[in-house]
Amino acid sequence: MSDETVVSLENVEVHFESEGSILPFGGDSEVVQAVDGVSLDIPENDVVALVGESGCGKTTLGKTAIGTQRPTGGAVKYKGQDVWKANDGEGDVEIPFEEIRQSLQIIHQDPGASLNPNKTVQHSLEAPLKLRHGEMDTFERRERIHEMLSRVGMEPPEDYAKRFPHQLSGGEQQRVALIRALLMNPDLILADEAVSALDVSLRIDMMDLMLDLQDTFDTSFLFISHNLSNASYIAGKADGRIGIMYLGELVEIGPIDEVLNDPQHPYTKALMWATPNLNPKADDGGSSPLRKIDVPDPRNPPTGCKFHTRCPEAREACTGEMPDATDLGNGHEVACYRADDGHDYWSSPELADEGDELTGTADESTAD
C-alpha cells in the first residue's frame, strides 16, 4: 500500500430523477439519492471493498469512481485531476480525459454478458491492446494474449484464443474479462460483484488470481459485493479496507480485520449476523436484530440517520441529522452517534416502534 491516491471521491452526490414511470404509482418526478455525500480515497495498488444491500448505492458509487457516472454534486479526482473538468475541458487540464478513461476499468458481474458473443476471445482481447498499445503489430498482440491466457491458467492458450464466449465456462469467461481489463494497464478496476455469479468453489480461485495479477500490473481494485464473506476474503488477503454502505451513505469504513472484529455501526453488526458461517458450534445470533425487515423506499428515505427506522439502538437524537464520520483511529471511521461518548444521543429517549415489530413498510411499495 503506498500513499499515492489513485482516485479520490470528495463528498460525491448522485441524484437520479425518475421521470414518472408508466406504472400509475409514484406520481410525478421523484428524486432518488443513490449516493448522498460520500468521500473515499482509493490508494495505489490496494483493495477497497464496498459492501451493502441492493439500493445502497454501491454500484453507482463504483461507477462514479471509474468515471462512468457523472456525479450531481461533489468531485471525483484521478491523481489530483478533476475527472469531469477534464472531460468538459474546463480549467487547467493536467491529465486529459482519454488517459483517465483508459486507466479506469471494469469487470462485470455476469460473465456471460461481459464478452461480445460474436467475437472470439482473441478478437475481444485485441481491442484493449489496440487502444493502449497501438504500436504493437498482430503477432506481438497474439503473443501477449497467449501469455496472459496461460498466466490465468487457460492452457493451451492458442486453443482458448480462438474460442467464442459460449464455448467457455463461467469461470473462464470471467478470467477473460479480467485479462481484458488488465490489458488496459489500468490504475483502478471496478470489480462489480465480479465473483457473485461464479460457483462457490471457483470464487477463491478468481479472487486469488485478481490479487496475484494486481501486483504485476500495479492496479487497485474497488470490489463491490453484497456478500460479506467474499469481500472479507479479498480485502483481507490484500490487507485492504472495507466500506459499508446504506441508502447512499458510507456508514463505516476501516481496515478489514478491524471492522470485522470490532464493528462499530449497528448496520455492520446486522450484516455480520446475516452472513451465514460454516461453524455449527458458533452462536448463530438468534433472531433478527433489526426492527424492520424491509429496506425503506430510496425515493423517500428516513430523516436524520437513514438507518434509524431499523436500528436496534435508535433513539430520538438519530432522527434529526445524519451523523458525521467519527475517526476512531487507524483509518477506522464510523457514522454513528454512539461513537461519540459525549453526544446528546446518550440522554435521548429510545424510539418507540409504530405498531408491530418487523412489519414490512406500510406506506410505499419498494422496488429492489
Enumerate residues 305-364 that contact other proteins by CB under 8 A: 358-360, 362
Q: How far is the CB of 347 from other proteins (least distance, A)?
A: 30
Q: How far is the CB of 71 from other proteins (least distance, A)?
A: 17
Residue 2 in contact with other proteins, rule: CB under 8 A: no
Q: How far is the CB of 78 from other proteins (least distance, A)?
A: 11
Question: Which one of the spans 29-37, 81-89, 285-293, 343-351 is the region binding other proteins (CB under 8 A)?
Answer: 285-293
Q: How far is the CB of 177 from other proteins (least distance, A)?
A: 8
Vertex 81 angle, CA 76 and 84, to 5°: 50
Question: Which one of the spans 84-92, 163-171, 313-321, 335-343 is the region binding other proteins (CB under 8 A)?
Answer: 163-171
Categorise residue 238: left if φ over 0, alpha if ψ from -120 to 50, beta otherwise.
alpha
Q: How far is the CB of 2 from other proteins (least distance, A)?
A: 13
Interface residue with other proteins among 60, 81, 174, 230 (CB under 8 A) is 230
Q: Which is nearer to other proteins, 278 or 342 (CB)?
A: 278
Q: Which is nearer to other proteins, 210 or 317 (CB)?
A: 210
Interface residue with other proteins among 39, 87, 288, 326 (CB under 8 A) is 288
Rounded distance between C-alpha atoms, residue 35 and residue 97, angstroms: 23
Q: How far is the CB of 35 from other proteins (least distance, A)?
A: 18
Q: Which is nearer to other proteins, 228 or 339 (CB)?
A: 228
Subset of 13-42 contacting other proteins (CB under 8 A):
23, 25
Q: Which is nearer to other proteins, 277 or 300 (CB)?
A: 277
Q: Which is nearer to other proteins, 141 or 345 (CB)?
A: 141
Bridge-partner residues for 43, per DSSP? 5
Subset of 56-95 contacting other proteins (CB under 8 A):
66, 68
Question: Which one of the spans 8-16, 30-38, 203-211, 323-331 is the region binding other proteins (CB under 8 A)?
Answer: 203-211
Q: Which is nearer to other proteins, 40 or 198 (CB)?
A: 198
User: Is 214:237 a contact under the CB 8 Å cutoff?
Assistant: no
Residue 301 in contact with other proteins, rule: CB under 8 A: no
Subset of 41-60 contacting other proteins (CB under 8 A):
53-54
Q: How far is the CB of 56 from other proteins (least distance, A)?
A: 9
Interface residue with other proteins among 10, 13, 273, 351 (CB under 8 A) is 273
Residue 128 in contact with other proteins, rule: CB under 8 A: yes
Q: Which is nearer to other proteins, 8 or 317 (CB)?
A: 8
Using alpha carbons, select from 222, 3, 7, 4 the residue that is nearest to residue 100: 7
